[in-house]
């Protein structure tokens, strides 16, 4: 099977062999830094490559991602009609027009049951799953419950060969819990603002945990209204 990529200029060049299906990506970033834009580009790349893409919307209604994709010149209607693009509404807890909905954000088990039932419908296909953001589901949950959920869920997704992107908002979950759960992911991507509040810049780190340390290269990036995220790999600033 061919390797997968993010579909992001500069970022893909940092992945020598790409991503294998069944890998899990943790995206951890500040509010407003561009995590959902990255998710949109990841989905766009998947659709371009013939993957079936599932997007779980926790933090905003699904139509927000539809607008993101439209800004990338991706009209979602045809892909949705062909079941190549599936939206799961985990934002509206009462009424939703989406085919797939999560009405109870207070249960990790109910979410996992829904996730598995959707993925099983596409058995045998190359799948990309984006959960935006998983930290919202885990708010006010016990740490041991979250860790066990991570272990069983990521193990199951790996066996199914699902290329998974789990998004986390910085500061929502305890830092120690993020550190523990990050060991379960193949790739960790951190996105944050740096510089002064009046002149902020965006920084991206992509790497892995090795010997309890996050080993990564750090690059500046920007978000272009036409080309999306652009990572400047020729401007590495160290860890």
238: left (phi over 0), alpha (psi -120 to 50) or beta: left
- The answer to whether residues 41 and 77 touch, using CB atoms and an 8 Å cutoff, is no
Please state, in angstroms and as integers, the Cα–Cα distance from residue 175 to each residue in 8, 66, 75, 146, 163, following that order. Answer: 28, 32, 38, 13, 25
pTM of the entire predicted model: 0.94
* Beta-carbon contacts of residue 27 (< 8 Å; ≥ 6 apart): 35, 38, 39, 165, 166, 167, 168, 189, 190, 191
- The answer to whether residues 21 and 1 touch, using CB atoms and an 8 Å cutoff, is yes
How far does the chain reach from its first CA to its final CA, in angstroms? 33
Q: How many helices (H) and strands (E) in the chain?
A: 7, 10
**What is the SS3 assignment for 149?**
helix
Strand partners for 210: 213
Which domains does the chain possess? Answer: 1-168 (3.40.50.300)
Q: Nearest Cα to 9, choosing from 238, 234, 235, 227?
A: 227
For 12, list phi and psi in degrees, rounded to 5: -65, -30
Q: What is the pLDDT along the chain (239 residues), one digit of tens a residue?
A: 789 999 998 999 888 789 999 999 999 999 999 999 999 999 999 999 999 999 999 999 999 999 999 988 899 999 999 999 999 999 986 778 899 999 888 899 999 999 999 999 999 999 999 999 999 999 989 999 999 999 999 999 999 999 999 999 999 999 999 999 999 999 999 999 998 888 889 999 988 655 556 567 889 999 998 889 999 987 656 54
Q: Nearest Cα to 37, choosing from 208, 209, 202, 196?
A: 202
């Amino acid at each position: 099977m061919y390797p997968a990529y993010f579909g992001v200029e500069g970022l893909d060049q940092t992945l020598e062999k790409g991503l294998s299906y069944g890998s899990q990506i943790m995206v951890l970033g500040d509010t407003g830094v561009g995590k959902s834009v990255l998710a949109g580009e990841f989905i766009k790349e998947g659709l371009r490559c013939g993957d079936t893409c599932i997007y779980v919307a926790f933090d905003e209604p699904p139509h927000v991602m539809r607008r993101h994709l439209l800004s990338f010149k991706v009209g979602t209607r045809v892909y949705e009609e062909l079941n190549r693009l599936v939206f799961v509404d985990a934002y509206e807890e009462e009424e939703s027009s989406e085919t797939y909905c999560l009405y109870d954000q207070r249960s990790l088990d109910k979410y996992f049951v829904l996730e598995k039932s959707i993925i099983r419908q596409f058995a045998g296909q190359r799948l990309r799953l984006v959960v935006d953001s998983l930290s919202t589901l885990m708010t006010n949950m016990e740490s041991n419950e979250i860790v066990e959920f991570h272990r069983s869920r990521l193990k199951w997704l790996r066996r199914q060969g699902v290329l998974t992107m789990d998004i986390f908002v910085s500061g929502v979950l305890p830092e120690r819990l993020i550190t523990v759960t990050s060991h379960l992911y193949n790739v960790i991507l951190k996105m944050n603002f740096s510089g002064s509040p009046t002149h902020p810049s965006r920084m991206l780190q992509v790497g892995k945990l090795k010997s309890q340390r996050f080993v990564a290269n750090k690059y500046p990036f920007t978000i272009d209204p036409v080309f999306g995220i652009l990572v400047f790999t020729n401007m590495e600033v160290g860890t």
